[in-house]
Each structure stands twice: as structure tokens, then as C-alpha cells.
Amino acid sequence: MNKKIIQLIIIFFIFLVLINFKSVLKKFYPIYYKNTINKYAIKYELDPYLIYSLIKAESNFKLYAISNKGAIGLMQITPGTGAYIARLLGDKNFSKDMLFNPEINIKYGCFYLSKLFNDFNGNLDCVLAAYNAGEGNVRKWLKDNKNEARLKTDKIPFNETKRYIKKVKQNYRIYNYIY
């Protein structure tokens, strides 16, 4: 008798999960910093779900995240890249601690993504590879592939970057499905 009750409870639980599937997924794929992300998505002509997807992959929305390579904050911007972005934006007095400010981190990350989209003719794989491995590496990979317009992800020599592209694109599909 207990076995049948347990089976019924399991079936009922599965039924509840299926009915509330999107609600369950929202717990794993949240939307935080919505106003800030929407503001800079509009300003830099980006899809906000791509920004959520990138942040999910980079820091899992942990504001004070620091990578083993020194990348900081939600969008995991290195101090060197942050200084570069600050120069391009004309922001004076840049310091790496500014990257812990969600407004600045998201602004810089979105600006940089927009720049990469322009530099790589809207090619999402190139943009994500450049965000992860650097613009110079992507330019070299494109050159090595005879300047093909599309980056062949199987030709990327960095496994981390291959996984990164796959992860962000998977997150992007899920965010678009849920929301």
C-alpha cells in the first residue's frame, strides 16, 4: 500500500512540475537588474535576453564575482578591458572597483558587446568568442580560416571558449523560451 501512495505522490509531483515548467525554469534562469539591463540593451541595441544569458554564464548574477583571471562583477570584465572601455566612453578616473557597481558593469559590458557586434558584422559566435577570449584571438582565428565571415567553432583552439559559446547560446534559447 505504501508503495502505491509513493507512486501517486511522485506522479502528482511530476504533473505539478510539468504544469509549472516555465515557473520552475525561472528559478534557475532569473531576471535580475531588469531596469539597468533594459536601459543599456536599448541604448546599445542589444537583446536583453542575450545580456541575461551572458551574465548567467559569466557570474550567475553574483555581483562580487571575481574569476581566476581577475574578471570582475556581473559581466566579468577584466580591469584592463574596463580601462579600455572607459577610454572609449570618455569616462575619467576609472578604477577596477567601479566594476563592482552593477550600473557601470552592465553599461560597460553592453557597450563592449555592441562594439563587438559592430566589429564582427553581427556574427554572434565571433562576438561571444571575442568577449571570452579577446578580440585579437578571434581576428587571428578568422585570418587562419582565410578570413571567412563565420567563425567555425570547431576550429577554435580554446576549449573554454567553445564551451562558453555553447553555454551562452543555450542560456539564450532558454531565456527566450521562458520569457
* C-alpha to C-alpha distance for 87 and 106, rounded to whole angstroms: 16
| Number of C-beta neighbours around residue 98 at 10 A | 19
Clarify whether 148 is annotated catalytic.
no
Distances (CA, A) of 52 to 4, 30, 88, 170: 43, 8, 24, 12
**Which grid coordinates are listed for 110?**
553592453
Check the CA dihedral 51-57-60-64 and report its sign: negative
The answer to whether 54 and 131 are in contact (CB under 8 A) is: yes
Catalytic residue among 45, 58, 103, 135: 58
* Cα 96 off chain centre by: 20
| Number of C-beta neighbours around residue 114 at 10 A | 17
Q: What is the largest CA-CA distance in the chain?
A: 72
3-state helix, strand, coil in the chain (%, to 5): 70, 0, 30
- Residues assigned a catalytic role: 58
